[in-house]
Amino acid sequence: MCIVALRTLQSRRSAPRAGRVHEIAMAEAIDPRTEGTDVPDPESTRERILDVAEALFAERGLAGTAVRDIAREANLTAPSLYNHFDGKQALYEAVLARGVQPLFAIITENNARAEAAADAPPDQREAVTDRILDSIMDHLAHHPNIAKLIQHESLTGGPSLSHIVHGWIGPIVESGLGAMQARNTIWSDDERPMAVAAWIHVILGHFAMAPLLRELFDVDPLSPEQVARQKRFLRRFARVMMASDDGAAGR
């Protein structure tokens, strides 16, 4: 009888405390600061997958990268990764599109400005070129592995090389050749493709060969200071590459 009474008394004393714990839990559940924090944002998850895939594809190539490795680095399971991409090839193409398509957009969006400035004073034409170069460098600085990925495709002759060239790089090159011809630059018809190739090496090489440059010059090419320095160099480089032919001999 005494035991029953003691248990009843303990139950009455603990009831308010249990109720209070329940109230706190309910309050936390509807607190706007915590509501939904356990639900992952699909867009942020997709971007995290693309970031990881970009780095692994640049290092290992498409064939050398397994979906399970991408999923593990992105803190996901392989099946959950397929909720965002149909497969490795689709993921690879999404990485390429995110990295290379903006470069094509930068060129095409500024073509109208370049054409409008064709007969403008040199400083206005140079300003358009500077804007294009700065935008390209800013994009590649944000996605430095894209340059390595393109280099890897080029070195291995990967299956996506044709798509990269004809889908994105080719139109950019054609735009550069057209600009050189319109300005009657110092380069002959045979030299213009080589001049554009030099542009590709100087811009992409800064990022693709960053480890070599870091070892060679004891600086980090990917640091904001070195990216800014490379921008300044490219502006001067552009003045030389796009200089008009003044009729000098030696073409």
Q: Which domains does the chain have, with CATH numbers?
A: 96-241 (1.10.357.10)
Average pLDDT over residues 150-158: 87
Q: What is the pLDDT of residues 97-107, one digit of tens each?
A: 999 989 888 88
Q: Whole-angstrom Cα distance, residue 27 to residue 33?
A: 11
Residues 6 or more apart in contact with residue 88 via CB below 8 angstroms? 62, 65, 66, 67
How many Å apart are CA 184 and CA 188, to the nearest integer?
A: 9
Angle at 238 between CA 169 and CA 186, to 5 degrees: 95
Helix, strand, coil percentages for the chain (3-state, nearest 5):
75, 0, 25
Both tokens of residue 197?
Answer: 């190739």
The answer on pLDDT for 11 being more than 70 is no
Half-sphere CA count of 167, side-chain side, radius 13 A: 13
* Residue 119 scores a pLDDT above 80: no
Q: CB count, 10 Å around CB of 85?
A: 20
Q: Which two tokens stand for residue 182?
A: 């319109």
For 172-214, how does the pLDDT look when each residue is reduced to its tens digit (9 = 90+)?
888 888 878 877 788 998 999 999 899 899 999 999 999 999 9
30 HSE (CA, 13 A, CB side): 5
Q: Which residue did the predictor score with more confidence, 205 or 17?
A: 205
List the one residue out of 188, 182, 183, 181 whose CA is nearest residue 248: 188
* Element containing residue 172 per DSSP (H, E): helix 170-182
